[in-house]
Structure 1
């Protein structure tokens, strides 16, 4: 039998239910891991049962994944000597950090099979005295001990509370892109532990606004695990009861310093263990194949991708639809599952469904409906759901979607500002449409965010009707934050952000293919980097923060596509704006007609979709719903 610490009955059940643990198989799996390690000349690893079982549990008892994780665990640690070597808890500076308790596990869990709660308080250390590497080295020591001792952590995962009180810009500026990449690699690819949630408390002004800019790029699972409470601890208590929390957080678990002191003693007692740790790792000279070093693990090569396009401009004509280029036709077939011979049948099916759906009044022309088929990769059921949500959301936000008469003076004023502009050219015939967004050009004292976004919806509607690159290849955004003030950010209330998110995601058939942030304010990239680790790899690879370095932007979007004001070779912003003003005015009848389309929730079969049910803010500061 394996030499393992016995689990509680509750944790044993969780391990069986969630991690597919079968006690009768563990001995065999451990033997297989040891046999594999014996054949890996480049890895020098601990091989005790408790250590190896942690990787089996972290990989849900997949032997192959456990092997990969174990290799990456030691590979990353070897590549990070500044964090993982010379971790002597009696070294004076490190001992000071240990006694501060920048991060500390709380003694109790909410339930016997609940995740371990980690309280992180970066504001307690002085960034002029301690580097982020020194702080993080302490964090790795605490984590190593928990991995060795804490079955709740290994089986049920960890829940973080990040208290940002007393954090200054000096703290944020320590999070360089290189360090964030290393920390992310250590905590994700190089760790067998599972993150079950994160709660942000005592957040600075503007934190939630910046977070909301990025939340669309989080996957559903990670969205549901992130909570921003501001200074509202009552909101935190709904997730983590007072009984778990230190007295300083209104809790019943005693003073935080007592918890910190107990952990300081524990870490010091592990001094010999940490000395031993320096002998374990990888020897990349012995690795079969290509070595994995700091450059290959944390280097930024490959993070900028060149858009590929076909030189062909031959056209393929579809029945009852605007012809699309051969390049777009090929992309639609390859990426959207488009089969020209099936389109007519699919359009007929959508019309028949709409005829049987009393609560929706929709446009039914081919060009409009095919947008939803393409946006849903030709899944009829998803297209139906998307059309329903498209009109449900629009009906629920009349302040954005009704009375969009482009002849109204106030609308024309905003159009002439050119807050959001599609650029005329794409990087090839099958490339996405590029959208330039410049919120800094409007005065938030003169215009509300609702008025500005109303104009944006008008441009978007025209693109949906006219722009095959947008519909088939998606859109790439450039968000220029020059001249953006706190007054702009404060217009993004939680309610408004929720409406925008719903409209741009659930209520839109269009696909976001990338976003570039330029002329960003100080600290913007740091806050963004805090959230990158929660994004999927696909979405991480689509977001770029360039600051004021337009040369970096040109690596993704060539100068020939950009306006002259951005060092480009394209039309001037003035000309692009003037052309769009004419185009929007030419659609006046269309926008006047639009008010007749939407949903009548009194006729919906089942529960009505109202503004409250779609955008209701109950729990919005606690559970951020993001893609």
Structure 2
């Protein structure tokens, strides 16, 4: 047996924690060798003893569990190749991730018998440029090195420090239930990673949903070991000593760049290992105990009707049963046409950006398809028009840096606030538009519209109720006088509708105007000029009595300031301010994409087709 000798303290820890003694280890490895010889796809593989003992330790020397984990590890290369295969260290995408330093095990442990602390720098990435699956793939590549080289990792486990500073939706939107399940399956059920604790740094309000997805697949004990910190790390230092942390996190042990350089070089030296082990895969047509993807990942019981092959091709959220039915009935969406139509949208995008480095999410393309009821030609026209908006409607779509002083002031007013809850699982998203906040301010309807569109883009990316079922607006006009109503011109309304319906695919279902001022009739008449006959009948006007509105918009989803029970306006304002701030990279990428947008020579397009006036 060729296995590293343990220090005396780790030998004692191994016996206490994972039931390992020298005699037990020898016998267990011999049993695994016999089992490997019976597996057609593993028989000829050159698998070192050090690799086998990592699986035994992760299974606390339960032979059956170790066998199952090994089998799952090699099976995942076939059914989840996006994170478990095609691992070429010198591939451009992997090199880029290694240079930024997403997953960095620290050099020291707190004590000789402490877990290995690993720094996960989610904050280092731009979600519109990087694929979350690639980030996870690189992390798993490094974990394999730890399984081979690090006895503290295999015996004492792992302690994760996750930095989510400025975490944007570009990453969160890719963190689907299916991907979360795959990650936990790879880490716990194949690679035997024993996560001891997780410290989440710079945790913003938008993190809750992503964390809930992760917790779905954790044991009850592990759920209690997740700790959140904002900007003050003092409590973390009680658990994670400063002496092992890099200086960028208040520690004394070197710099982040040193760790990046070390792990980049280390991964590159394992090139042959990855190539060898990626080639070891079961032949499911011959192997009697081969596992299909749904069985290995346990997805069938957790997420009904999920098509794994479809998931591999696209990165879109799985709909609930109620929304899936609604999508089929209202917008002609089904599992068969999603991938076909998405491929058309990708090609359309590439035609306009031949040298473009931005990779929009499939979820973004899907929003356009849903807004056009999967009419591909309409969707393509709207996508093209969207990327002309910076030039054709700069007052709405240019200069959208969330940290800009003016944008910050507008966000603090809480002008456009989607509510947290929908009436039912398959109801539209209700958005509160507080025109009243413009009173006694220096800002205009154009400013409100800009914030509205910035928020709508997040909803198109993040909110399936919004894209599948549509939007319901509650517009508060309290104390709105002539100075604001006079801005409501036919030209402004036409431009708003052109952007909302012809570029951003917003589907307005109903409009409830509350605290209606006397001069509102003319403004509503202008608004109706651009509505369909059906939608004209769905405009409701109320004065200060909201009882009629509650029949359509129940109190259970409204904030207390509007007679509801779902929190207060300030909470919504703070939430959407933080949400928009987290999308700074998205708005910057939009600016870049608009500058690079080109109309292909083969397309005969009238200049007026991309003009909003």
Question: What is the TM-score normalised by the length of structure 1?
Answer: 0.48
